[in-house]
Amino acid sequence: MQSGQLAIGNWQSEMKKRAKTFTISAVAEQFEVHPQTLRLYEREGLLKPSRSEGNTRLYTDVDLERLEIILSLTRDLGVNLAGVEIILNMREKMDVMQREFERFFNYLQTHAEEFSHFTEAPPPEAGAMVPISSLNRAVPVKRRAMSGKSR
């Protein structure tokens, strides 16, 4: 790619980033909240808008989706901000766990043949670290003698 094309490509990707951001006044008007409410949500750590070079808050589509959840919880369900924080943190943890589970499941699917031998009993000649007969035997439980205290 030539330098002119590279500059145009960078400019276009930068414009895409800028085109998807909204100022605090636009967001406040769109969601019918006061700008101070958005500032409060930011102070409480519920929203984290990016900043322009002039330090103007810039809200992305992801920020707006998060704001919709916050407003739904507070307006529709009556959840206070401490509860909103807990719910949002739990949602993030659940998302991480879901992704980890999907990665693990994909790993198991791609390596299924490697794990298939674990379902079969080992041949007797393989020997075992602990003899099977000792595993099937009941283990006696010793009880401690009770001291003079009553329970």
Whether the pLDDT of residue 149 is over 60: the answer is no
pLDDT tens-digit series, residues 4-60: 555 555 555 555 555 589 999 999 999 999 999 999 999 999 999 999 999 999 999
pLDDT tens-digit series, residues 55-79: 999 999 999 999 999 999 999 999 9
| pLDDT (0 to 100) of residue 113 | 80
| pLDDT (0 to 100) of residue 63 | 97
| Whether the predicted model's global pTM rises above the 0.75 cut | no
| pLDDT (0 to 100) of residue 72 | 98
Domain boundaries, the chain: 10-115
3-state class of 119 per DSSP? helix
| pLDDT (0 to 100) of residue 74 | 98
User: Does CATH number 3.30.1370.10 belong to domain 10-115?
Assistant: no
Higher pLDDT, 108 or 12: 108
Q: Tell me the three-class secondary structure of 34-75, residue by residue.
A: CHHHHHHHHHCCCCCCEECCCCCEEECHHHHHHHHHHHHHHH
